[in-house]
Structure formats: structure tokens, C-alpha cells
Amino acid sequence: MKYYMPVRLYDENNCVQNHADEIAALGKKALIVTGKRSAFSNGSFDDVAAVLKERKIDFEVFSDVEENPSTDTVFAAGNKYRKDNIDFVIGIGGGSPMDAAKAIALVLKHPEADLDYLYDKTKDPSALPIVCVPTTCGTGSEVTGVSVLTRHDKKTKISMVHKVFPDLALIDGKYLKGASHTLIVNSSVDALSHLYESVLNAKADDYVRMTADAGLRAWARIKDVLTGDREADKADPGLLMRSSALAGMSIAQSGTSLPHALSYVITYDCGLAHGRAVGYFLPGFMEAAPKEERDRLLHLSGFDGPDDFRSFINKVFGGFDIPDEELAKTFEAVKNNQAKMRSASFDVDEAILKKIVYGKKK
Ligand code: NAP
Ligand code: FE
């Protein structure tokens, strides 16, 4: 067994201000990587910029990261700042800017890098130091080495092969204030899928179960807020962020499984948010899993069983409208991918995959 999580993580109020010393220790010039808007309205950018100014650390801002960031965006940033003597990169936002920040930190460290570099295991995977400040509660990217990138040349999303972990993760629930209910639902279901898929995974072990079980217990406490059956309270943003980080620690060990693998084509072709796309496949995946472990996970996260879970997914997403030809397309792609087919902790053949893809429809 191996447990590798080389990220220094802090999870507290005023986290960015509290850890100014550790940010400042990373160098004299930073590149801040964000999405187009949210970091500038939820307070996260201002907090980071204030620390950098106070410590007299020069910085550039790249705020062009789109949802489901593309390799084109990574190289746009890489080309723009290659000559700027950047010492470290700060990713602020959801999974999209954090994932982009990892790939940009790799490209800035290796100015010769091209697209193939990101997907060539023989290349040096070292990157500039990275700080991540999450502002959604789903991906756990702040504690994983994964960078999921859109490949327009392949019309899907493919993770970079290199594992690039942040050095510092600064987690503060206050940045969720102002996030829409839809965003909270999408990202919380993404976190839940990480918790389930990491345990129902061929690579799961006791260390994965340790973090996943803790994440599921935290997640169970916010479940009723997602359905609207309970008003949100002060503790919820912290719990949401914590369950997401624990989920990230779990997938950092074992990776994800079929719901994630099946989701990427749907996100690319139909523009479905990541959490919603994964959420579509999750009930079928749970129904296919061995009963004992499946029910243990469902109970830990507050569900009576698979039917209760399917109702929850339908309730929070209000149903799905994914064209059958898209389902057929992702079914074919994953069916022919042996690594993905073997990623679950249980045997998956074509018939089982079909049930996961079509749920109770077929
Ligand atoms: P996201 O794509 O980063 O952001 C979604 C939307 O939410 C954007 O419009 C963003 O606005 C907005 N937003 C972010 N924080 C906000 C806040 N606090 N308040 C209001 N709006 C906010 O969403 P995500 O679900 O976190 O990330 C999804 C990406 O992560 C996908 O590409 C997925 O494949 C990847 N992922 C990575 C891992 C990993 O281990 N690395 C794991 C799972 C998923 P702005 O654009 O203006 O910022
Ligand atoms: Fe995910």
C-alpha cells in the first residue's frame, strides 16, 4: 500500500491571510490563475492580492480560464508568461482554474513543452510550486496531482499524464458565499462521486477508505441542504469544502472510475457541468456495485439504499435530458477502454456497463 499526499493543507477561517509567510516563501514573482469572474467577486482574489502586495511579491494575473479548461488555454498562458521569470503559480477558483494552474506551472518550468509533453510519461513532470485556493466544493483539485484538460483535437477531456500536486492548499469556506445553489449541487455531487468511486475502485485500500469514510460523514451533514429540506447554516460551507478535500485525497490515491470516465464525452458534446454529467451515471454505478460495500457507503452518506439515492439525484438535478446517441457514444468509447473497464472494484462487462449508462431506461 502507498499513501502519497504531498500537499501542505490548511482548512480554516482567514486561511490565506494566516499563511502569508508560506506563500511568500515560494518566490519573488507569482502568476495568479483564475476564471473570468468569480474570484474577483467572492473575495478570494482580493485576499491573495493583499498578501502578495503586503509581502512585496510581484504578480501577473491570467484570468482567462474557461470551465473545463483546454490545453489551448494552458499554452496561451504558458506562451504569454514564459519570459516573465515567474517563480510560482497560484490557482484560485474551482477545479478549472486549479487544474489549469497545474498544467501552466508545468509549462512555465519547461518552456520547450508542447502538447505532447503533457501526455508523454517519459518527460520530466516537475513544475513550478503551486498554491491552490478552492472556491467550489467538488473537485478536490487542491489536494490531487490531477489536471483534467479539454482536448479540442480529440473532442473530449483527457487528464495530463504527469502528477502535479500543489505545494499549498488554502481552504476557506467563506469563498462559497454567493455561490449559486446549482453550483453547490453540481460540485457536491462531484465530491460525492469521488468518495464513492475511490472506494468502489480496483485500487482502493484502507487508506482510501479512511479519507473517504470521513468525507462521507461530512457530506451526510449537508445532504439536506442540497435537497432544500434544511436551511443552510454557518457551518455548512466549511463542511462542503472539507468533504470535497477529503474526497480529493481519496481519488489522489485510487483515481476515479466509470461515472467519471463516462462523463467526459457528455460534458464535451452537451456542455453539461462536470458534477451533473457524473451525477447522471452515479446511481447506475451504485446499483451495479456489490451490495455490502455499496450499502455501507450509501448509509454513511445518509441514504437508505440505492433507490433513495436515485431519487435524491433526480430531485437535485430535476431529471436529465441526454440524447440517446450521446449515451451510445460514451458507452462505445468506455466499453473499448480496458483500463476504464477494469477501474471498478467489481467485474464490469458490457451488460453491466449498459445498465450504468442507461440506468433503468433499458
Ligand atoms: P469550475 O469549472 O471551476 O467553475 C464552474 C463555475 O463556477 C464557473 O463559472 C466559475 O466562475 C464559478 N465559480 C467558481 N467558484 C465560485 C464561487 N465561489 N461563487 C460563484 N461562482 C463560482 O467548476 P468545478 O466544478 O470546481 O471544476 C470542474 C473542473 O474540475 C472540470 O474540468 C473537471 O473535469 C475538473 N476536475 C478535476 C479534478 C482533479 O482532481 N483535478 C477532479 C474532478 C474534476 P469563473 O469562471 O468566473 O471562475
Ligand atoms: Fe470529478
DSSP SS3 for 169? strand
CA 260 / ligand 2 centre spacing (Å): 6
- Contact indicator for 95, 138 with CB cutoff of 8 Å: yes
Lookup: cell for 116: 505532447
Q: Which atom of ligand 1 is nearest to the CA of 44?
A: 18
- Contact indicator for 258, 332 with CB cutoff of 8 Å: no
Q: Is the dihedral of CA 73, 75, 78, 79 positive or negative?
A: negative
Task: Write the pLDDT tens digit of every residue in 137-192.
Answer: 999 999 999 999 999 999 998 999 999 999 999 999 999 988 999 999 999 999 99
Sheet (strand 29-35) strand order: 8-11, 168-171, 130-134, 88-93, 29-35, 58-65
- Name the closest-CA residue to atom 4, ligand 1: 94
Indicate the pLDDT class of residue 346, thresholds 50, 70 and 90.
Answer: very high
CA distance 39 to 314: 30
What is the pTM assigned to this prediction?
A: 0.96
Rg (CA), the chain: 20
Rounded to 10 deg, the angle between the 274-288 and 306-317 helix axes is 160
Neighbours of 345 (CB within 10 A): 18
Q: Which atom of ligand 1 is nearest to the CA of 180?
A: 20
Q: Which of 68, 228, 46 is CA-nearest to residue 141? A: 68
Q: Which of 148, 140, 142 is CA-nearest to residue 212? A: 140
Q: Which of 92, 96, 266 to mutate to test the pocket of ligand 1 (most atoms within 8 A of CB)?
A: 96
Task: Write the pLDDT tens digit of every residue in 272-322.
Answer: 999 999 999 999 999 999 999 999 999 999 999 999 999 999 999 998 999
- In this structure, the strands spanning 8-11 and 29-35 are unpaired
Please report which residue ranges of the chain form alpha helices under DSSP H: 15-18, 20-24, 38-41, 44-54, 71-81, 95-109, 115-118, 181-199, 206-220, 223-227, 236-254, 258-270, 274-288, 291-300, 306-317, 324-335, 338-341, 350-358
Q: Give the chain's mean pLDDT.
A: 96
Please report which residue ranges of 82-180 form alpha helices under DSSP H: 95-109, 115-118
Q: CA 324 from chain center: how many Å?
A: 26
Task: Write the pLDDT tens digit of every residue in 216-272.
Answer: 999 999 999 999 999 889 889 999 999 999 999 999 999 999 999 999 999 999 999
- Contact indicator for 16, 47 with CB cutoff of 8 Å: yes
Whole-number pLDDT of residue 345: 98
Cβ of 47 closer than 6 Å to ligand 1, yes or no, is: no
Ligand nearest to the CA of 95: 1
Q: Which of 116, 64, 60 is CA-nearest to residue 89? A: 60
Q: Which of 274, 281, 282 to mutate to test the pocket of ligand 1 (most atoms within 8 A of CB)?
A: 274
Residue 279: what are its φ and ψ, rounded to 5°? -60, -30
- Contact indicator for 227, 316 with CB cutoff of 8 Å: yes
Q: Is the dihedral of CA 279, 283, 288, 294 positive or negative?
A: positive
Indicate the pLDDT class of residue 121, thresholds 50, 70 and 90.
Answer: very high
**Mean pLDDT throughout 12-30?**
98
Q: Which atom of ligand 1 is nearest to the CA of 66?
A: 46
- Contact indicator for 100, 91 with CB cutoff of 8 Å: yes
Ligand nearest to the CA of 197: 2
